[in-house]
Amino acid sequence: MTGWPQQSLARIEPSQAKHARMSAMSTLSVQHVSKSFGTTESPLQVLTDVTLELSGGDSLAIVGPSGSGKSTLLQILGTLDQPTSGTVLIDGTDPFSYSAAQLAAFRNHKIGFIFQDHHLLPQLSVIENVLVPTLAGGRPGSEHIDRAGELIEAVGLGHRRGHLPSQLSGGERERVAIARALLMKPTLILADEPTGNLDRKSAEAVTELLLRLQSDNGAILISVTHSDALAAAMKDRKELLDGKLV
């Protein structure tokens, strides 16, 4: 792989960057992660001692009632929020040891996000939306444009690449979001209810695509879901109950 992400990784810290490049297999290690909000006098304990080990090709569904901490856990795994205690290692690297700018580069390179409401930019075409993760590094290179085209073909939208999100169905938009999440060949794909807004047929198509592309790319997939069909399609399933992963 070429382009800015490796350069910026090399700038981050030589030993960690070297480690990240040497470990060919994607890994996620979550050790004793707890998270509380609020003050020390009256803390709200949201996650308690969450431990998780996953590697490339693994897929995990996280289920649990509303308010059980699912989104909080995804935010921490996505390096968007820090745990109160415990450690997260992505490809052997502790992302929270980085400065804000280094962390942004790391996140962009290592993590693909898929949201329930797709978060596509309405004024951009399908191909431009898929290329959004490259914008932090300046203009997308030809290798990014080629990969974006391949991913758009892979999600069955090759004939729609110039269309705007408003011209697509909900399932098609979610497929664009999957292509965008995979563009940078992330270690970790995090999805929050990716089929939540879809009819059954579209949900099945999105589930099949997501798992196939994740597996083809050797990525780790973690998805929060209320869908039994999606949870059943994933290799493993865990439940968050009162902040504990069981």
Q: Which residues bind Mg ion (CB under 5 A)?
A: 70-71
Residue 40 in contact with ligand ADP, rule: CB under 6 A: no
Label the pairing between strands 220-224 and 188-192: parallel
* Cβ nearer to ligand ADP, comparing 8 with 79: 79
Residue 71 or 197: which CB sits closer to Mg ion? 71
C-alpha span between 131 and 149 (Å, rounded): 10
* Residue 68 binds which of ligand ADP, Mg ion, none (CB < 5-8 A, kind-dependent): ligand ADP
Query: Site for ligand ADP (CB under 6 A): which residue of 1, 25, 44, 229?
Result: 44
Q: Which residues pair with 63 in a beta bridge?
A: 239
- Scanning 60-68, 114-122, 161-169, 182-190 for contacts with ligand ADP by CB under 6 A, the matching segment is 60-68
186 in contact with ligand ADP (CB under 6 A): no
Neighbours of 200 (CB within 10 A): 10
Minimum distance, C-beta of residue 66 to ligand ADP, in the bound complex (Å): 4
Distant-in-sequence, close-in-space partners of 137: CB < 8 Å, separation ≥ 6: 3, 4, 5, 8
Contacting residue, 6, 48, 71, 82, with ligand ADP by CB under 6 A: 71
How far apart are alpha carbons 182 and 199 in whole angstroms? 23
Which of helix, strand or coil describes residue 2?
A: coil
Residue 66 binds ligand ADP, judged by CB under 6 A:
yes
Contact status: 5 vs ligand ADP (CB under 6 A): no
Residue 12 · residue 98 · CB < 8 Å? yes
d(CA 59, CA 65): 20
Decide: is 82 part of the binding site for ligand ADP (CB under 6 A). no
Angle, alpha carbons 21-182-55 (nearest 5°): 50
DSSP, collapsed to helix, strand or coil, labels residue 222 as strand
| Closer Cβ to ligand ADP, 61 or 213, answer by number | 61
Query: Is 147 within 8 Å of 180 (Cβ atoms)?
Result: no
Nearer to ligand ADP, 185 or 238 (CB): 238
Which of ligand ADP, Mg ion, none does 96 bind, CB closer than 5 to 8 A by kind? none
Which residue lies nearer to ligand ADP by CB, 28 or 46? 46
64 contributes a contact to ligand ADP by CB under 6 A: yes
Q: Please tell me whether residue 31 binds ligand ADP under the rule CB under 6 A.
A: no
- Which listed option, ligand ADP, Mg ion, none, makes contact with residue 1 (CB within 5 to 8 Å by class)? none
d(CA 3, CA 217): 18
Residue 239 host element (H or E): strand 236-241
For 55, list phi and psi in degrees, rounded to 5. -135, 170
72 binds, among ligand ADP, Mg ion, none (CB under 5 to 8 A by kind): ligand ADP
Residues that bind ligand ADP (CB under 6 A): 37, 44, 46, 64, 66-72
